Amino acid sequence: MWEYSAGKQICFFMIRVKTAMKDVLTGLDQYEVFLKKLEKEIEQIGDDRIIIVYTDIKHFKYINDTYGYKVGDALLQDFVEEFMGKTDIIICAARVYSDNFVVANRVPPDYCSNEEFRDLIHQLNQDREAKFREKYLNSRLQFCTGISVIDKNSRSLDAETAVSNANLARKVAKEMESDSCVLFDQSMMEGIKREVEITSSIPKALAQKEFQVYFQPKIDTDTLELIGAEALVRWQKPDGSFVYPDEFIPLIERSGQVVDVDYYVYREVFSFLAKRLAEGKKVVPISLNVSRVHLQKMHILQYVKELLEEFRIPCSLVEFELTESIYLDNTEQALELIKGLHNMGIKVSMDDFGSGYSSLNLLSKLPIDIIKLDRVFLKEGEMQESDRIIISCVVDMAKKLKITSLCEGVETQEQSDYLKEVGCQMQQGFYFSRPIPQAVFENLIEEK
Ligand code: C2E
Ligand code: CA
Ligand code: CA
């Protein structure tokens, strides 16, 4: 009796070990098992290459949220079938977690180049996307893949690092519009190092007031007078070097820290305006940039309300700039934010108008006060006829919709004169002034 039940226990234990080695939903290897297999394959690499393909499904959460987990699970199973069934070069595959999959392929020397392999996967992704979008009624579903390669020269690489390189390339692919598959290269590691360096120094930079607000004047087209400014953040490190917003804003958007930096800028600007008003000095309206990240939580309305109460400045002295792409991604939240700001008496502009592709469509949906024409319309050199036509049409349309138009990136007199000719009310750009520190801007207001 004892022997029998002990045997049963052993048998049960073996079954558990066996199933635990596979992912229950997809039947693929568990990730740890995959890594062990991969390690062995690397040891026996010979003249072959091992190509790691790491894929995730963009907007998968949308499927789960909209159609439920059953459909989500079915999609993952379908995906694995597509993933696995086609080729004999696959040596192992695993679901890393959720909708992240990794496959290792052993590729003989004469099979294809790494770049050809990447193009092949890109094509495969596109074909799969079309199929899946139809089946799961989701026009946004996308596959994002990163690839890393191990050959006899890099065989000292361990399995985990090889997968993490492919995953890094996948993250790069996820941010790209044009390519769904990216091949890892060492420079990506540099990018990650820089990202870590930047994001980890933000809290200290905020505490030590390394951020400064610069102001770029806005000019009235008819009178050429200063009628406002845009607040643009500058980060000067203790060693005197500058980090520019084009570099650090996208990184701190990813980490969410942009909210703190934006709030810092808002507070500085409110305090600047309040101080000048208290001293009986002249002021002009200042516009503030709003990152897309604010729309995820919407604390921004409460924060602006608190600032208005604390500093007691007229609401007509601040405006908020939302970039065109914010509206595209989150039309509902953007609408809520605009309404909330309007309720406080604050104007809203659509920044970078024309840099996306459905700006016109959005204008009819959103109660915008000002459009800021992106500087893409004002290319270097003489103005192109096509740009002139587009600018004049946009300005005309804005007028009919009773929206004020401002053109940014004005660098030459020719451009400025043309904007006057077509009736664009405001201008901003290097032709008038670069963004300038507060003290210089204050002198400019005094001269006004
Ligand atoms: P943006 O909002 O489109 O700001 C205008 C950018 O165009 C500024 O770059 C400005 O220096 C530049 N610019 C202005 N006139 C000209 C011109 O005539 N020619 C050329 N070539 N460039 C011109 P900056 O200050 O480097 O800012 C870059 C971007 O970073 C901004 O683009 C904005 O999206 C973001 N940003 C800046 N400050 C903040 C901030 O406090 N919060 C948030 N969320 N984003 C910010
Ligand atoms: Ca702006
Ligand atoms: Ca802009």
- Which among 192, 194, 195, 202 is positioned nearest to 146, based on CA atoms? 192
Please tell me the predicted confidence (pLDDT) of residue 20: 65
Question: Residue range 119-145: average pLDDT?
Answer: 85
CB 429 near ligand 1, within 6 Å: yes
C-alpha to C-alpha distances, 383 to 389, 402, 417, nearest whole angstrom: 10, 26, 11
- Which among 98, 181, 191, 197 is positioned nearest to 145, based on CA atoms? 181
Tokens matching residue 243: 């980090």
What is the number of the ligand closest to the CA of 435?
1
Looking only at the bridges linking them, the beta strands covering 211-220 and 226-236 are antiparallel
CB 246 near ligand 1, within 6 Å: yes
Compute the distance from residue 245 Cα to the ligand 1 centre, in Å.
7
CB 245 near ligand 1, within 6 Å: yes
With H, G, I as helix, E, B as strand and everything else as coil, classify residue 257: coil
Question: Residue range 149-172: average pLDDT?
Answer: 94
CB 286 near ligand 1, within 6 Å: no
How many CA atoms, within 13 angstroms, populate the side-chain half-sphere of residue 375? 12
pLDDT tens figures, 320-337: 999 988 877 778 899 999
Please tell me the predicted confidence (pLDDT) of residue 119: 94
With H, G, I as helix, E, B as strand and everything else as coil, classify residue 419: helix
Q: With contact defined as beta carbons under 8 Å apart, do 350 and 366 qualify? A: yes
DSSP code of residue 22: B
Mutate which of 206, 249, 414 for ligand 1 pocket (most atoms within 8 A of beta carbon)? 249
- Mean predicted lDDT score pLDDT of the chain: 90
CB 216 near ligand 1, within 6 Å: yes
| 361 has pLDDT over 80 | no
Q: For the ranges 61-75, 108-122, 414-428, which has the lowest average pLDDT?
A: 61-75
C-alpha to C-alpha distances, 235 to 209, 249, 378, 428, nearest whole angstrom: 9, 11, 27, 22
Q: Is 245 left (phi over 0), alpha (psi -120 to 50) or beta?
A: alpha
Compute the distance from residue 436 Cα to the ligand 1 centre, in Å.
12
CB 165 near ligand 1, within 6 Å: no
Domains delineated in the chain = 20-185 (3.30.70.270), 195-446 (3.20.20.450)
- Which among 376, 447, 2, 428 is positioned nearest to 218, based on CA atoms? 428
DSSP code of residue 46: T
Distance CA 49, CA 108 (A): 6
Q: With contact defined as beta carbons under 8 Å apart, do 128 and 36 qualify? A: no
Whole-number percent of the chain with pLDDT over 90: 71
| 170 has pLDDT over 80 | yes
Distance CA 35, CA 104 (A): 10
Question: Residue range 250-262: average pLDDT?
Answer: 95
Please tell me the predicted confidence (pLDDT) of residue 86: 66
